[in-house]
């Protein structure tokens, strides 16, 4: 039988390691060949990048499908250039057992658009105390454990969960929020310091979600220097100038300019490993009632490209590292680079074109964003997964 192949000819090719002009051939879902050619014109309109990998999103299924479901979330992800998304466990029922996990995985197979890595809750029902369910999980189907939405308040429980994660070779994804703190800054900083210290004590594999304060960045920087096995992510909305969005309710909150500057410093010195969206779709009514969160997976690349690359803070290669190769390393995936043998997952981007964020153009059911009416450089023209188009922009 003839191999199924796709050829992408005469494109600029950018990943974390290199920038070149040429062709990419994908055979049977894998990148088979890269041919470098003499450059034609300046880079901008036709750029191939490794498809993006989101370490943190909410698709709300089961239980809250009026906000989002796996189908609408997958379509939004594909439009944003993503082919692999890690989902949090705060569904209804909570994803704290194999039955719920299998329901989500089977639903995703039915839709068949992107890859989903579903987190399992660290504590039963996200209640913060009982973690006995972890021992009965199928380790082949689980990669990540998280009580996202809450911090694990009890030190002994956190230590025990990290020990189980070590034994099972799982990653614990921490939502750093000390519910006993007087304010949201202390809440994040206290929990970050506590979690990094416990990870050091037990040699645990720790990933810090949506880091947003300068103090937390410094704690993680220090932990890495001292050999702690910790990685971290930041979100597109926490690397933006806070002017105009500071009052929008997200958790953790939009911080100050000093925090943004420290995050950028952390990106450049290697403290920050990844950019994750924390895509959190809500209805208009839920937002009016105070639900925290931004719907953002469709616009993550243009925001990050405009705020980081166009402004000269980082290179496009570095952005690819943050959105593709480092998330792939964290999850141990053969993705995130345009390299022979890697999965044929590619985003075709136009760096010269701008897009205006309009509610009617948002694919996600969640239209909740403070960025309506804002314009950003960087348009996803198409998304390819395993050598097949899963999204093409209407022209």
Per-residue DSSP letters for 340-389? TTSB--EEEEEEEEEEE--GGG--SS----TTTT-EEEEEEEEEEETTEE
* Residues 341-357, mean pLDDT to the nearest whole number: 98
pLDDT in tens, 72-128: 999 999 999 999 999 999 999 999 999 999 999 999 999 999 999 999 999 999 999
Taking 60 as the threshold, does the pLDDT of residue 1 lie above it? no
For residue 291, being part of any structural domain is answered with: yes
Burial degree of 34 (CB within 10 A; 0-12, 13-18, 19+): middle
Give the whole-number percent of the chain exceeding pLDDT 90: 97
- pTM (2 d.p.): 0.98
Q: Please measure the distance between the N-terminal and C-terminal CA atoms of the chain and give it in whole angstroms.
A: 35
Tokens 């995703």 locate to 108
One domain for residues 103 and 121:
yes
One domain for residues 218 and 144:
yes
Q: How many CB atoms sit inside 10 A of residue 281's CB?
A: 30
Q: Residue 331: CB partners within 8 Å, gap ≥ 6?
A: 53, 55, 84, 86, 117, 143, 144, 171
One domain for residues 57 and 42:
no
> Residue 41 — pLDDT band, cuts 50, 70, 90?
confident
pLDDT in tens, 224-256: 999 999 999 999 999 999 999 999 999 999 999
For residue 338, being part of any structural domain is answered with: no
Taking all residues of the chain, what is their mean pLDDT, rounded to a whole number?
A: 97
CATH number at residue 380: 2.30.40.10
* Residues 189-200, mean pLDDT to the nearest whole number: 98
The residue range of the domain holding 41 is 5-48+345-392
- 226 Rama sector, left if φ>0, alpha if ψ -120 to 50, beta otherwise: alpha
Number of domains in the chain: 2
Closest by CA to 281, choosing from 132, 72, 48, is 72
One domain for residues 14 and 146:
no
pLDDT in tens, 158-171: 999 999 999 999 99
Instruction: Give all strands (DSSP E) within 122-199, no chain letters.
Output: 144-146, 171-174
pLDDT in tens, 248-286: 999 999 999 999 999 999 999 999 999 999 999 999 999
Say which of 54, 96, 278, 345 is annotated catalytic.
278
Mean pLDDT is lowest, of 42-46, 114-118, 139-143, 341-345, for 42-46
Q: Quote the pLDDT of residue 395.
A: 65
> Distance from CA of residue 232 to its chain's centroid?
11
One domain for residues 311 and 379:
no
One domain for residues 20 and 97:
no
For the chain, the helix, strand and coil percentages under 3-state DSSP, each to the nearest 5: 30, 25, 45
Taking 50 as the threshold, does the pLDDT of residue 355 lie above it? yes
One domain for residues 283 and 375:
no
Annotated catalytic, 148?
no
């Amino acid at each position: 039988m003839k191999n199924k192949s796709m050829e992408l000819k005469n494109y600029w090719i950018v990943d974390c390691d290199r920038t070149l002009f040429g062709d990419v051939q994908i055979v049977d879902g894998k990148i088979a060949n890269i041919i470098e050619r003499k450059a034609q014109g300046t880079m901008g309109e036709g750029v191939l990048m490794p498809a993006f990998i989101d370490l943190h999103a909410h698709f709300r299924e089961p239980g809250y499908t009026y906000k989002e479901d796996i189908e609408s979330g997958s379509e939004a992800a594909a439009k944003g250039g993503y082919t692999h998304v890690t989902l949090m466990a705060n569904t209804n029922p909570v994803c704290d057992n194999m039955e719920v996990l299998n329901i989500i995985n089977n639903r995703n197979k039915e839709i068949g658009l992107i890859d989903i890595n579903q987190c399992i809750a660290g504590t039963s029902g996200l209640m913060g105390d009982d973690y006995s369910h972890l021992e009965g999980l199928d380790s082949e189907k689980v990669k990540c454990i998280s009580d996202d939405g809450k911090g694990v308040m009890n030190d002994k429980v956190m230590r025990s969960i990290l020990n189980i994660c070590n034994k099972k070779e799982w990653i614990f994804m921490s939502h750093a929020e000390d519910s006993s703190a007087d304010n949201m800054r202390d809440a994040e900083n206290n929990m970050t310091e506590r979690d990094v210290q416990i990870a050091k004590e037990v040699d645990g594999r720790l990933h810090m979600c949506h880091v947003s304060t300068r103090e937390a960045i410094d704690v993680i920087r220090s932990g890495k220097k001292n050999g702690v096995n910790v990685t971290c992510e930041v979100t597109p909305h926490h690397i933006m100038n806070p002017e105009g969005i500071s009052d929008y309710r997200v958790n953790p909150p939009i911080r100050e300019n000093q925090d943004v500057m420290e995050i950028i410093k952390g990106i450049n010195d290697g403290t920050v490993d990844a950019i994750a969206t924390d895509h959190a779709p809500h209805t208009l009514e839920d937002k009016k009632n105070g639900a925290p969160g931004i719907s953002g997976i469709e616009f993550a690349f243009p925001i990050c490209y405009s705020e980081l690359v166009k402004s000269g803070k980082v290179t496009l290669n570095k952005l690819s590292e943050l959105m593709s190769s480092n998330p792939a390393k964290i999850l141990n995936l053969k993705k995130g680079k345009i390299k022979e043998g890697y999965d044929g997952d590619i985003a075709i981007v136009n760096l010269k074109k701008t897009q205006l964020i309009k509610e009617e153009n948002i694919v996600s059911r969640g239209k909740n964003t403070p960025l309506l009416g804002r314009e950003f450089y960087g348009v996803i023209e198409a998304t390819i997964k395993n050598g097949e188009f899963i999204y093409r922009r209407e022209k």
